[in-house]
Structure 1
Amino acid sequence: MTEGVAVQQDGSSSPPLWWGAGSRRRTVIGAGTALVVSAAGFYLASGPEPGNHPPTVVCSNESGTVLTTDLDADGRLDEIRDPRRSGDATVVFSRATTASEVRVEEGRTLWQKARSALSQDMEASGAFGDFNGDGYVDLALFYSQADYGDSPRSNMPVHEVRYGPLARDLSGSRTGSIRIRASTFVDAAGATDEDHDGRAELHVSQSGGDGRFDRYIGHEDNGSMKLGNERADLTGSGADAELRSNWRDFGICVFPTAREHSDTTPPPNVAQ
C-alpha cells in the first residue's frame, strides 16, 4: 500500500490523509494509528528466543571473573565476563564461526529504555547465577540513579529477575520481580552459592547516604526474589572490596582436551 493513501471499500484509492472532510480524516488517521500500534506490539513481541538445549556446565575461571555456561541453550558455551566483579558484565555469545557481545546495560527492554530516557546518571548492574536451581543461569537486573554527594536518590525503575535460558538480548524465558528494601543506587551486584545447594544467593550493595553502602542478600522465592532485612554496613571499605561475585562457588572450569568428547562447543578464546 502506498504510504499516506487509504483504500476505500470499493478498492479505489482515496486522497492523502490531509485531504478530504474531517470525518474521513479522523477515520483514516484512526485506522493508521491502529496499524502503528499493532506493528509496535508485533515488534516488541518478536525478539530473539533462547534454544531448548538441556542445561550443561556452569563454572568459573580461577579468578572468579569469567563464568562459562550455555546461557541461551543453543548447545554452545558462552562466557559472562565481569573483570571487576561488580555487576557491570559483558556476555559473549558463541556462534558457529563468530561471537557477539552484549553488555548488561544493553539488556533493558525498549519500554524500560523509553521510560527512563530523560533520567540522568542512571546505571545498570546485573548478577548472573542459577537462582532457582533448574540448571540454567538467570539474570538479576537493576537500573538505578547514581549518587553524587551524600544524599542517596531513590530512583530504581528496573529491579527484576530474568529466568534462564536467556535470549541473546538478555531477555528471559520468564520474568519475576525482585522485592527490594530500598530504591537507592545499586553500586554492585553479584551471585554466590556459599552452601553449594545449587541455588545461588543474590548479593546487592546499595547506597545508604553519607558515603555508606549497605549490603543485602536475597534468595529466590516462588518465581520472584526477595532481599532480606539484614544489612551490613560497608562504610569505609568500598563496596567492590566487600561485595564480589564469587562465581568460584559454582566450580572451576576444566575443559576437555581435543581427544575427549564434549556435547557442547567451548566458548571463544578459551584455552584447551
Structure 2
Amino acid sequence: MSIDLHTHSWFSDGTKSPKELVRQASNSGVTAIAITDHDTMDGVEEALAASTEFGVEVVPGLEISVMHQGKALHILGYSMDSANHELAQALATLQEARDGRNNEIIAKLQGLGINATALELKEISGVGQTGRPHIAKLLMNHGMVRSIPQAFDEYLKKDAKAYVPRFAYSAEDAIALITGAGGLAVLAHPVQVDKTLSFLSTLLPVLKSYGLEGIEAYYPTQSKKMRKRINRFAIENDLLLTGGSDYHGDIRPGTRLAGGNNVYVPPELLEKMKERLAAKA
C-alpha cells in the first residue's frame, strides 16, 4: 500500500476531476491522496466528498509557485483551512495575476499572426485554472506545433516568442500563508531546482526559519541515492519527509499515481505529518 501526497486535478493543470483521482487511487491501492493543485484549493471539497465513497483518505492541499533569491521553487501545503481569509485572498490575487498573464500571452501570439482568442483558451481549460499547458493545447489546435513540449520550447518557456513572466510570492510569504492557515509547508521536488541537491545545505535552514516543516523526498525522478541524501538534510533541519507522484493525468502520458512500479510513498509519512500538526495545535 502507498499514499500519494502530490497530485493535480482539472482545477489546475491536470486532466482528471478530483473525484476521479480519488476513485483512481482506490483502484490503485493508494490509501491516502492529497489534491495539490497549483495556487487553488477549489478541488478539495469534491475530493473530500468522494473520500467515503471510495474508502480513500483525502488530505487537503495545494502547491504554490514562489521565488527565492532568484530561484523558482514550489511549496506544497497540507491540511490548511481553505476558509482562512488571508490564504483565500492570496490565492485570489494569484488567480488574477494568472488571468492577466494569459491575456498578455494571447496578445503576443496574436502579434505573431496566430488567430488565438481568450474564449478558445477557456473552452480548452474548462472548469479549472487556465495556464500555459492549456495555451500549448491551443497552439496545437491552431497547427502551430505538434506537441506540448514543442509549444513550450518555441512559444511559452523563458526567452521563447510569447513568454510572459509570472507573478509569484516569496517563499517566506507563501510559507507564512500556509502555516497561518493551520497547515504544513513542504518543499516540493528539490531535484527540479538543482539535480545535484547541493543547494539544500544552504536553502533548507533559511526555509526552516520561515516555518518550513518538510521536504518531498519520494518523487518519480528522485533516485534512492537522492532520497538518502535528502533524508540526511531533513534530519539536520528537523524536517518531515513527504512524497507523491505529481500525477497530472493524460497530459503526461506514461505517468501514474504512486505505488506499483512508480514511486512508492510509505503511509507512515502521513502519520508523522499528523503528529506534527497535533503538536502545533
Q: Which has the higher strand share?
A: 1
TM > 0.5 fold call: no
With normalisation by structure 2, the TM-score equals 0.26
With normalisation by structure 1, the TM-score equals 0.27
**Bigger relative contact order, structure 1 or 2, given CA contacts below 8 A and separation 6+?**
2
